[in-house]
């Protein structure tokens, strides 16, 4: 009788239970990102003098940081068994990777200044979501390195660095006060670059609004962004955000608040 019961989706309970069991077993398996090694081993290999060993290790460590872009749904309701695997993946990241973040980030910082452009791109891209697992202070510490990379001779490095800055400002800074004291004059050309993707342009405009009056030099570029977006809508609501940013930048007596 029990085996004949069905869930709200119409799938028999027994089938759902079997799927859940398989997914649970899969979640117990070795993380494929580690390629048969341990985090400690890959950290050690990242210091190896052999360029190939070093590059492979950096690739693995970068993959670990990129495996989860944000903390995710730590509490999930409903019968969906896939959330069990997601929860375990997040728990694994927090317990095994997060404690090694300072060491991993330090290795990636060194690689971000590597002679090989491909290595620089990999390292910088892996720092794109670092603010999700650290805080605004860590992003501030990395900004000089990332700003310098925005002027790299390699276009892929420049793009990776700009996107890294924009993503971290948008998702890692939690309130107006986090934007106080940033190197605004260095950031404005980055946040208003004309060749940003639609989503990155949107996030960059939000950050300019959060910065407020200190971003006054960005006003002409915001006007151009509005004009361009009105002629060629990209579906990101960037026009509304740009108008809000301009109002906040231009508003008299704007004060910082949490």
In a domain, 160, yes or no: no
Report CA torsion sign: 194, 144, 102, 115: positive
Share of the chain above pLDDT 70, in %: 72
- Please give the tally of structural domains in the chain: 1
Q: How far apart are CA 80 and CA 74, in angstroms?
A: 14
In a domain, 131, yes or no: no
In a domain, 87, yes or no: no
Q: Which residues contact 227 (CB under 8 A, 6 or more apart)?
A: none
Q: How far apart are CA 236 and CA 257, in angstroms?
A: 26
Structure confidence at residue 30 (pLDDT): 52
The answer to whether residue 92 scores a pLDDT higher than 70 is no
pLDDT tens per residue across span 227-249? 999 888 877 789 999 999 999 99
Residue-number span of the structural domain to which 238 is assigned: 181-258
In a domain, 129, yes or no: no
Structure confidence at residue 110 (pLDDT): 87
Q: How confident is the model at residue 22 (pLDDT cuts 50, 70, 90)?
A: low
In a domain, 197, yes or no: yes
Structure confidence at residue 72 (pLDDT): 42
pLDDT tens per residue across span 97-148? 777 788 888 888 888 888 788 889 988 988 887 877 778 888 899 999 999 9
In a domain, 206, yes or no: yes
Q: Which residues contact 249 (CB under 8 A, 6 or more apart)?
A: 208, 209, 211, 212, 213, 215, 216, 218, 219, 222
pTM of this structure? 0.74
pLDDT tens per residue across span 156-186? 999 999 999 999 998 888 888 889 889 999 9
In a domain, 116, yes or no: no
Higher pLDDT, 101 or 191: 191
The answer to whether residue 1 scores a pLDDT higher than 50 is no
pLDDT tens per residue across span 61-91? 888 777 665 444 433 344 444 454 555 555 6
The answer to whether residue 254 scores a pLDDT higher than 80 is no
Structure confidence at residue 32 (pLDDT): 62
In a domain, 253, yes or no: yes
Residue in 171, 47, 147 with CA at minimum distance from that of residue 104? 47
Q: Which residues contact 138 (CB under 8 A, 6 or more apart)?
A: 105, 130, 131
């Amino acid at each position: 009788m029990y085996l004949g019961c069905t869930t709200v989706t119409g799938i028999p309970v027994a089938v759902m239970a079997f799927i859940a069991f398989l997914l649970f077993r899969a979640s117990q398996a070795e993380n494929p990102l580690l390629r048969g090694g341990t985090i400690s081993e890959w950290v050690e290999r990242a210091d190896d003098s052999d360029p190939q060993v070093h590059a492979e290790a950096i690739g693995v460590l970068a993959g670990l940081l990129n495996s989860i872009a944000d903390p995710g749904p730590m509490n999930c309701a409903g019968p969906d068994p896939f959330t069990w695997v997601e929860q375990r993946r997040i728990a694994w990241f927090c317990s095994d990777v997060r404690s090694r973040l300072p060491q991993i980030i330090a290795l990636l910082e060194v690689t971000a200044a590597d002679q090989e452009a491909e290595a620089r791109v990999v390292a910088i891209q892996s720092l794109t979501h670092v603010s999700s697992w650290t805080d605004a202070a860590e992003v501030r510490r990395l900004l000089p390195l990332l700003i310098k990379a925005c002027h790299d001779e390699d276009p892929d490095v420049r793009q990776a660095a700009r996107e890294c800055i924009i993503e971290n400002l948008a998702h890692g800074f939690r309130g107006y006060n986090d934007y106080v004291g940033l190197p605004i004059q260095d950031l404005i050309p980055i946040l208003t670059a004309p060749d940003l993707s639609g989503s990155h342009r949107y996030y960059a405009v939000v950050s300019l609004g959060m910065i407020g009056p200190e971003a006054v030099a960005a006003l002409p570029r915001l006007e151009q962004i509005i004009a361009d977006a009105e002629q060629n809508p990209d579906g990101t609501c960037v026009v509304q955000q740009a108008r809000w940013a301009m109002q906040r930048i231009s508003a008299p007596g704007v004060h910082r608040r949490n």
